[in-house]
Amino acid sequence: MSPSRRKANGSRCSCTRGEIDGISGGESFDRTCTHCNGSESIKPDPASSWFLSSLSETKLDDSEKLRRIIVASLKGFSVGTGIKGGLALFSIIVRFARRRSSSKSRRTGDFSNSEAISMGIKETLRYGLFLGTFAGTFVSVDEAICSLWRALFAGLVAGPSMLLTGPNTTHTSLAVYILMRAAVLASRCGIKSKRFGSICKPLTWEHGDLFLMCLSSSQILSAYILKQESLPSSYKSFLNKHGGKDLSILQGIKDLASAKPFTNLRAIEKHYKSVGVDIKLDPNMRIPCSMIHGGESCTKHGLTFFLQAYMRALPVYVPVYLIPALIVHRQDLLKKQYSILGKGLFGTARSSLFLSTYCTSAWVWTCLLFRTLDTCNIPLVAIATFPTGLALAIEKKSRRIEISLYCLARAIESFFTSMTEAGYIRPPKILRRADVVVFSVSTAIIMHCYAQEREVFRSKYLNVLDWVFGVPPPPPPPLPSEET
Contact 233, 414 (CB under 8 A): no
Q: What is the DSSP letter of 432?
A: S
Report the alpha-carbon distance of residue 47 to residue 50 in Å, rounded. 5
Report the alpha-carbon distance of residue 332 to residue 231 in Å, rounded. 42
Query: Taking the CB of residue 324, how many other CB atoms lie within 10 A of it?
Result: 12
Q: What is the DSSP letter of 332?
A: G
At 462, phi and psi to the nearest 5? -65, -40
Report the pLDDT value the prediction gives residue 251, as an integer from 0 to 100.
Answer: 92
Contact 50, 476 (CB under 8 A): no
Question: Could you tell me the maximum CA-CA distance found in the chain, to the nearest angstrom?
Answer: 96
Report the alpha-carbon distance of residue 414 to residue 228 in Å, rounded. 9
C-alpha separations of 373 from 221, 258, 379 in Å: 20, 16, 12
Report the pLDDT value the prediction gives residue 149, as an integer from 0 to 100.
Answer: 65
Report the alpha-carbon distance of residue 107 to residue 334 in Å, rounded. 48
Contact 83, 482 (CB under 8 A): no
Report the alpha-carbon distance of residue 78 to residue 128 in Å, rounded. 6
Query: Taking the CB of residue 482, how many other CB atoms lie within 10 A of it?
Result: 5
C-alpha separations of 201 from 29, 135, 206, 215, 291 in Å: 10, 34, 11, 20, 46
Report the alpha-carbon distance of residue 412 to residue 176 in Å, rounded. 8
Report the alpha-carbon distance of residue 10 to residue 63 in Å, rounded. 46
Contact 3, 45 (CB under 8 A): yes
CB within 8 A of 473, min separation 6: which ones?
Answer: 466
Contact 157, 141 (CB under 8 A): yes
Query: Taking the CB of residue 75, how many other CB atoms lie within 10 A of it?
Result: 19
Q: Which residues of 10-45 are buried (b: 16+ CB within 10 A; e: fewer)?
A: eeeeebbeeebbbbbbbbbbeeeeebeeeeebeeeb
H/E/C letters for each residue in 34-93? CCCCCCCCCCCCHHHHHHHHHHHHCCCCHHHHHHHHHHHHHHHHHHHHHHHHHHHHHHHH
From the list 432, 443, 440, the residue with the least C-alpha distance to 469 is 443
Contact 150, 141 (CB under 8 A): yes
H/E/C letters for each residue in 193-259? CCCCHHHHHHHHCCCHHHHHHHHHHHHHHHHHHHCHHHCCHHHHHHHHHHHCCCHHHHHHHHHHHCC
* Mean pLDDT, the chain cut into blocks of 10 residues (484 residues total): 41 41 38 42 45 48 72 81 76 67 47 72 81 78 64 75 74 80 81 69 74 92 92 86 92 92 90 89 90 88 94 88 69 68 87 95 93 92 94 90 86 87 74 80 84 79 77 54 44
Instruction: Please name every residue paired with 12 in a beta bridge, in sequence order, or none if there are none.
Output: 6
At 184, phi and psi to the nearest 5? -65, -45
Contact 382, 222 (CB under 8 A): yes
Report the pLDDT value the prediction gives residue 27, as an integer from 0 to 100.
Answer: 38
- What is the model's pTM? 0.64
